[in-house]
Amino acid sequence: MKFGIVSEIRIIDSIRVRKHYKRFSFLRDYFFSNRTRIFFQAIDKYYKEDYTGNIIQISDLRAYVEAKVNDPEDKKDKLSLLRKMRRLKKKDVSFVQDLVIGYSQTFLLKSKMIEALDEVDSSGFNLLELKHEIENIISISAKADTDYTSMLKTVSVVNEWENIPQTPIGIDILDELTRGGLKQGMLGVFAAHPHVGKTSALINVGAAASLFGFTPLHFTLEISGQQLNVRYLNRYTGLTYDELLDDKDGVLKRVKKQLIKAKSDLIVYDLSDQKAVVEDIDRHVDEYTSVHGKRVIVLIDYADLIHPSFAKKDKRDSLADIYRELRRIARHYEIVVWTATQANRKSEGSARFRMRDMAECYEKAAIADVIVGMTQTPEEMEDDMIRIHMPKNRVTGKKGSWIIEFDPDRCLMR
């Protein structure tokens, strides 16, 4: 389909109608033609400020042009476009949708390709970022179809929510509170002070998910990949490191049999010696899921160590962007993503954990779908116990605090 001034006129004519304007107004930023921009501005103003009916008349657009355009030649040109608009035949809503989306996609793709050509020789060129931007342009049609839902037309709100697949957490009380784990597309965050079980919690999630048939893609930015693999063996077998040494080959064979039976795997990405950015994680997830499917769970130990793709003056803004990108990954691939973060110093020694106790950037708490805080007193440490708190739960809304068993030598939480 070719697009020119006639297509722009048809789009403007279509969105004069209120129902079309409401459906396609999210595309307003794609109207950049100097010749037609003023018409969209008039329609936008009409429905936002001066709304009195279900359609803005061409006579209203004419009056707007007369009032806003001073240059005689420019005014003459725009009035001639209005005359052409008056002669157009009406089209159904499907035609309008195809026209608006096609025009927008064509315009954006052309603009993005021209921009990419200018950047391709620069050090800042990011091919993965370009890929995502093109995917977003292609997904405009999906946005138009799913931009809103109608309660009257929805058959069962509860069933639709309940039918979204879940991935178990592997800690009994948390699975109980979430009725089976996080739903696909969600971001979960463990928060605690150093040496209070953040890595162990992620390992518990990964081990449990793998035994339910999900393959953990575990990205470690702190400890080495070799250390992480050993700690997974602790969790799978319930053995300490010394006990693993007594039967190294036998232990590994038993764990492999467990994974084969569950039809899963354990994939560890060691990024501990790299300045990893979110795009690195996204690329690995994309490569794995393209070959093996999306029955995976992503674990990142931990997100605060990810470097921002574009550094900002305030570190908190960079951290917020990283967490938004991790949630975007969860939603884009329709998977669950878990990560961990530090708790701030003010909460150290406290028996409680609140969302404001997350270090560096409170916005992380707003972005996450589920937050699990962990605290431990010296007495609880001696007794191999840990206190877990759930201040945020978008799955069921249930919250609370509990004391559970925590054996760090076996990476076991229950």
Q: Tell me which range, 33-47, 116-130, 238-252, is most confidently predicted by mean pLDDT.
A: 238-252
Question: In the structure, what pLDDT confidence band is assigned to residue 146 with cuts at 50, 70 and 90?
Answer: very low
Tell me the torsion sign for CA atoms 168, 174, 179, 185. negative
Domain architecture of the chain: domains with CATH: 5-146 (1.10.860), 161-413 (3.40.50.300)
Question: In the structure, what pLDDT confidence band is assigned to residue 103 with cuts at 50, 70 and 90?
Answer: low
Of 205 and 150, the one with more pLDDT: 205
Model pLDDT, residue 147 = 47
Mean pLDDT of the chain: 82
Percent of the chain with pLDDT over 70: 77
pLDDT at 350 over 70: no
Which segment of 119-123, 163-167, 217-221, 308-312 scores lowest on mean pLDDT?
119-123
* Helix, strand counts (H, E) of the chain: 18, 11
Of 238 and 358, the one with more pLDDT: 238
Asked if residues 400 and 220 have their Cβ atoms less than 8 Å apart, the reply is: no
Q: What is the pTM of this model?
A: 0.65
Helices (H), 263-343: 278-292, 315-333
pLDDT at 82 over 60: yes
Phi/psi-derived region of residue 238, left when phi > 0, alpha when psi is between -120 and 50, beta in every other case: left
The mean pLDDT of 253-274, rounded to a whole number, is 94
DSSP assignment of 337-367: EEEEEEBPGGGTT-S---GGGBSS-THHHHH
Question: In the structure, what pLDDT confidence band is assigned to residue 272 with cuts at 50, 70 and 90?
Answer: very high
Residue located via tokens 């996609």: 105
